[in-house]
Structure 1
């Protein structure tokens, strides 16, 4: 599907630039019904394919080695509960209204420009985890093929670029084709140990870690949970797939809900399981393999050692490298794709210029490569523990606004809004809540608020992010959510089932047809204008005035 997209320069007769809408994959806008041709099952499978990363194994191993099995397991449980509860309202809004998390964030307490800072947080998430997965792939290439790490870092970065160019169309196929083999290679070592070495289970539960903690410690549990909670922004990557869900109807309601829950907040079930398995494999290696303390937290070595017990060494090495490469590609195409969306969104709103997603695809990959070359794998716990405070503040604030302010208090408008002119530039409810929650929890993380509170920085971020949005919404009486309530179009926004309308309207600026939810009346008083042309309208000619 090819369409011409025009980047406006402030007038209705701006020059036209060519762009393939499939390539851009609706970077800045609502995903239209005409493009969403995938079934609920295909969307869910594609979304879950994006959590194939091996970082969970490394995270589980690291927190277990640091705090012991018992504390690590409790930390993983805390992580899973927080992720599921905070992710549910976000996933529902994405699947129901076909918006990415940035567009949801704009109307959920942040404002049109206020959500830019959350895009930076999300983009940071994508290149941190791209670098982490790329590092794991480079370790596999070094182990299996003798390729130096620095070359492996470059190779793991370069291979991703061509796979991400075509957006959702190619990504859905890639995830579907690679998932069966990935599942077999992933599950095999764990099943083998459970059957052939049943004593490894008791060894696992008895493991006390480097600090000798055999009994639960709330401080250690929260430190472990804090590292795991760095993955909270993964819901944004799930949403980049979920926004392509088909309309919800009485006929497909059960399938629709199953896919939304499983591929949305349900990703954490699989993530938590991988963390537990990563810890299990690390404890087994530490107990049974000489010198394992130097590599027990490296997923590629974990799988290689177990494979070697099952099959010839050459085949074990081959399968370990294949697993690492498949896993890295499956997740890093999503990291690169989602990161490019986040950077493009922010840049276009600030500069009123749309450079295309591929420019920032390159930017994201370069940043990730720099992190890999700096050997960020050695500082994993610190990096993820710090990042978790920012990620939690953002996601929990949005979840709080949707669940409490929209549905419980009725202060925030239930229908999501993302279009320029309809929103205030900044809404202090979400924007202020996130800054306070992130700032205070980061201070706690670095011990500024005392050594005792340092262990509980994740809890500080969660509580503040949950409580502050309703407090600020009540204090401001919801004044800063909508700049205006009428977009000037008489046609209904939704169909009889509450899904975004598929009716098309003509944009007078770029001379293209777009679906109703992506349009507003022009501020000139004549015709309609699409959201991308509004975003790039430097003079504001087509932006509707505020309600009197």
Structure 2
């Protein structure tokens, strides 16, 4: 570690590796673009304060540049053609209020925690693996809209220059690479440069329309059409609700908002609202603008198919100001600017989401640029499949899953956290998160599956139209109910380690320094590692989250008799896994079935989609079973390997300890004689000096200091000599309670010790050696209890029988052992005391092993530490 480390590095001399498996952390290096955070933008981790150097105004401009997408105008035009102007206007107003309210807590927590949407979801009730599903949903959103915006560009190039659509699709995808590949720095500059032309060209046709046709707006609002009804309004709102996920793209920029303390309150909150939920104020206006322009173009004689396309509606709008040829050219320029602005954001946000998803699925991180290429390739495939022609259906189906996700997040951030039913801090590190949290995962499953079933028509046309809002409401209610039932349980797998010495720390695997907010203490390697290296670690199998009883510090349980059972072990666990995988695959197949059903209806065979869906169910069940069993085989193989490594590590650890003890013994035998004589001479001289009546008070103090130093040196020699002793020890029966009471009475700290030993309890042991071990434990406990600020020192000594052993426990009410010391306290020459030698606890364990037992840390934490010593019961 260098000077930025927050904890001392473990002493690895004489050891072969980690305390548990005998493994040293393997150094990890990344490709140059992965290590370059100007490209990665801390894609998979917390954005540190040192990187958040942009002003609130820059963040606002960059985030608002991401809402330039003309798909909003296209959505407004499509809704107008389907449901009429009045229904569209009312639906936009209701959806805008809904999106603003649900997006505000998300934007606030992202800006405060400086994490992206995926990392926020992890700590907002979904868990580490559970949020991978939401990452896929969010990535799907960015892919869909990237494809929609690419289609709009290709259509503009086709109309203006006759460029074939496939060539336009490819060009629209490739043109964003130079900017999106460079990260936040390049994107912010690009958005600032293009902001003014986008705003001017976007408002110019409306100014011309207002000048030349001032009554057009009133005529649009009064356009004949069906009045808003429950069915039409629900269908329109269901489509618009899919836009709620846009907050994910906004917060990808908001996470770089500078700390609130470094700017004024008004600027910070202004940037938060405008760049966060405030996007819908402009977005909703753009939807209404699209409705207005499409109505205007159709009234002028343009075909509905052309009027719904942004190039068509804006070409007609610019004809109020320019000649037809010039209007087409200006409209094309505007479409290109607007769509490139949004697709840069779509590609950037999508590559972040895909990096998060695939990193957890594959434990591999090739870099954001790889997933950027993947994002573009999938989007091009959707363009070729004609995604724009099914815009309303795609968004309506997607809205059910998206709103179920956001309903669970909103419930956690806006309800459960203020009530204290979930942790106030957003935790995103794998080391401290459970794989799944039922609060978010369960509520999303309830809301999403119910919404999809309603959309499939199982509840009638009214519920089908309102399926997306119902999915949101169900998910929100389920999240609150589950959260209140669990009362905060399940959000954390273990208590996060607090790095107290410095603000930065070096990762033991990649060797880079990060802020401690982005670091975790790895109990597998006994070192701090960064959150990304923790996520990519394939060997530990979440060792840090296992029960403390699995620690090597505890004695191994006695082997029981072999039991034969008719039911295979973990059977129900496998059944649950197969059912879960089957449900997920069937849900995905159900989405495809909805589209296939509509297509089959157009082909004249309405039952084709249902037949394919039901016929595929057995195959999906077989696929789910194969996937689970393959994973089970992999798990068993890894467990066997880890078991072998654990045994190897224990053997290597024991060998290293024995080598140390042998070296200490050789040194002790040599130096004890050389030290005893000088110490004896010094002690005699001090005794002579102390009898001199002419000594002053200062000299008497010096004599006492010399005596204490002589005593300390003698104790060190005794410890060293005890290591040098070999051979058998003699055991005698003792009355344990009386013997321990006498030991406490002789100890200087005996006044602090409470004895809890049953009367009549007897033990066969070597009294002299066991006395040394227990005195050492009492001395350590007293020292820890006296060092705890604001507490009355308390030490408890108790004994009991357990499974053929006599257990002696010494517990204190100190502040506990540091995590980096817990697994090493019994190693030779390791101590937490400034004046300690580091051999006392090693000798304690050796004494216990002489008696057929062991010594270990039973528990430790802020409320104190309990050390245990076991002695085998002999007749």
Q: TM-score, normalised by structure 2?
A: 0.58
Looking at structure 2, the residues matched to 460 and 343 of structure 1 have their Cα atoms a distance apart, in angstroms, of 28
SS of residue in 2 equivalent to 1:310: coil
Range that drifts further, 516-525 or 70-79? 516-525
Q: Which residue in the other structure is 2:219 paired with? A: 203
Q: Distance in 2 between matches of 1:488 and 1:49?
A: 39
Residue 336 of structure 1 corresponds to which residue in structure 2? 347
2:545 is the alignment partner of 1:529: no
Give the corresponding residue for 1:444: 454
**Contact 2:153 2:336 (8 Å CA) reproduced:** yes
* Cα shift at 1:185: 0.7
Q: Residue 135 of structure 1: CA displacement?
A: 0.5
CA distance in 2, matches of 1:291, 1:441: 37
1:481-496 correspondence to structure 2 within 5 Å: 481-491=491-501
User: Please, which runs of 5 or more residues in structure 2 have no aligned partner?
Assistant: 1-22, 549-875
Give the one of 17, 27, 32 matched to 1:14: 27
- Residue aligning to 1:495: none
Following the alignment from structure 1 to structure 2, what is the Cα–Cα distance between the partners of residues 196 and 281? 14
Distance in 1 (alpha carbons) for counterparts of 2:493 and 2:193:
46
Q: In the alignment, is the contact (CA less than 8 A) between 1:43 and 1:242 conserved in 2? A: yes
Q: Does structure 1 residue 59 correspond to structure 2 residue 69?
A: no
Shift of 1:546: 5.0
2:272 paired residue number = 260
State the partner residue of 1:217: 229
**Range moving further from structure 2, 422-431 or 196-205:** 196-205
Partner of 1:321: 332
Cross-structure match for 1:392: 403
**In the alignment, is the contact (CA less than 8 A) between 1:75 and 1:223 conserved in 2?**
no
Query: Is the 1:129–1:335 Cα contact (8 Å) retained in structure 2?
Result: yes
Note the C-alpha offset of 1:541: 7.6
Cα offset, 1:316, TM superposition = 1.5
Please give the alpha-carbon distance, in whole angstroms, between the structure 1 residues aligned to 2:547 and 2:211: 68
Give me the whole-angstrom Cα distance separating, in 1, the residues matched to 2:546 and 2:345.
38
**Among candidates 246, 251, 259, match of residue 239 of structure 1:** 251
State the match for 1:146 in structure 2.
Answer: 162
Of the three residues 78, 89, 102, the one matched with 2:105 is 89
1:11–1:541 CA contact under 8 A, matched in 2: no
Select 2:428's aligned residue among 408, 418, 425.
418
CA contact (8 A) 2:212 2:320 kept: no
> Partner residue of 1:504?
504
Aligned to 1:403: 414
SS at match of 1:265: coil
Q: Deviations over 1:102-142 (max 9, x none)?
A: 00100110001100000000010001000100000011101
Tell me, yes or no, if structure 1 residue 166 matches structure 2 residue 178.
Answer: no
Structure 2 partner of 1:498: none
2-structure distance, mates of 1:382, 1:525: 51
- The CA deviation at 1:266 is 0.5
Of stretches 337-346 and 215-224 in structure 1, the one that deviates more from structure 2 is 215-224
Q: Choose the corresponding residue for 2:482, options 466, 469, 472.
A: 472
| Residue 136 (structure 2) pairs with residue 120 (structure 1) | yes
Q: Does 1:377 align with 2:388?
A: yes
Distance in 2 (CA, whole Å) between partners of 1:486 and 1:374 is 47
Instruction: Give the corresponding residue for 1:271.
Output: 283
246-255 vs 353-362, greater mean Cα deviation: 246-255
SS in 2 for 1:544: helix
The CA deviation at 1:254 is: 1.2
For the aligned residue pairs, the C-alpha RMSD in angstroms reads: 1.6
2:233, 2:490 → 1: CA distance?
38
Task: Find the residue that maps to 2:431 and give its secondary structure.
Answer: coil
Could you tell me which residue of structure 1 aligns to residue 514 of structure 2?
Answer: 514
Say whether 1:345 aligns with 2:370: no
Any gaps of 5 or more consecutive residues in structure 1?
1-9, 493-502
Aligned length: 523
Q: State whether residues 393 and 438 of structure 1, in contact with CA within 8 Å, keep that contact through their aligned partners in structure 2.
A: yes
Whole-angstrom distance in 2 between the partners of 1:250 and 1:335: 30
Counterparts of 2:424 and 2:546, CA distance in 1:
20
Return the index of the structure with the highest Cα Rg: 2
**Distance (Å, rounded) in 1 between the aligned partners of 2:431 and 2:28:** 23
State the distance in 2 between where 1:460 and 1:541 align: 38
Distance in 1 between the 2:82 and 2:162 partners? 30
Q: Which runs of structure 1 show a deviation greater than 6 angstroms over 4 or more consecutive aligned residues?
A: none
Match of 1:299 among 292, 307, 310: 310
Paired with 1:402 and 1:303, the residues of 2 have a C-alpha distance of 40
In structure 2, the CA distance between the partners of 1:178 and 1:161, relative to structure 1 (3 Å rule), is: same
Name the SS for the 2:514 alignment partner.
strand
How far apart, in 1, do the equivalents of 2:186 and 2:461 lie? 49
Cα distance 1:233–1:53, how it changes in 2: closer, same or farther (>3 A)? same
Partner secondary structure for residue 115 of structure 1? helix
| 1:505-543 per-position Cα deviation (integer Å, ceiling 9, x unaligned) | 111111110012101122146431100110011112886
Distance in structure 1 (CA, Å) of the matches to 2:546 and 2:413: 24
Distance in structure 2 (CA, Å) of the matches to 1:402 and 1:546: 28
CA contact (8 A) 1:40 1:246 kept: yes
Alpha-carbon deviation of 1:358?
A: 1.1
Deviation at 1:461, TM superposition (A): 1.4
DSSP 3-state at the match of 1:26? coil
The offset of 1:220, in angstroms, is 1.0
User: 1:321 & 1:26 partners in 2: Cα distance?
Assistant: 36
Kept in 1, the 8 Å contact 2:28–2:509? The answer is no
Contact 2:25/2:525 (8 A) holds in 1 = no
Paired residue for 1:179? 195
What is the aligned partner in structure 2 of residue 364 from structure 1? 375
Is residue 523–residue 541 contact of structure 1 (8 Å, CA) maintained in 2?
no
Structure of higher RCO (CA pairs closer than 8 Å, 6+ residues apart):
1
Q: Deviations over 1:384-438 (max 9, x none)?
A: 111111111112211111111101x211101100001211110010011111111
2:437 matched to 1:427? Answer: yes
SS of 1:246 mapped into structure 2 = coil
User: Are 1:282 and 2:294 an aligned pair?
Assistant: yes
Distance 1:520 1:418 in 2: 11
Structure 1 match to 2:96: 80
State TM-score, norm by structure 1: 0.93
Q: Deviations over 1:214-257 (max 9, x none)?
A: x2212211211111111111100001000000000174221000
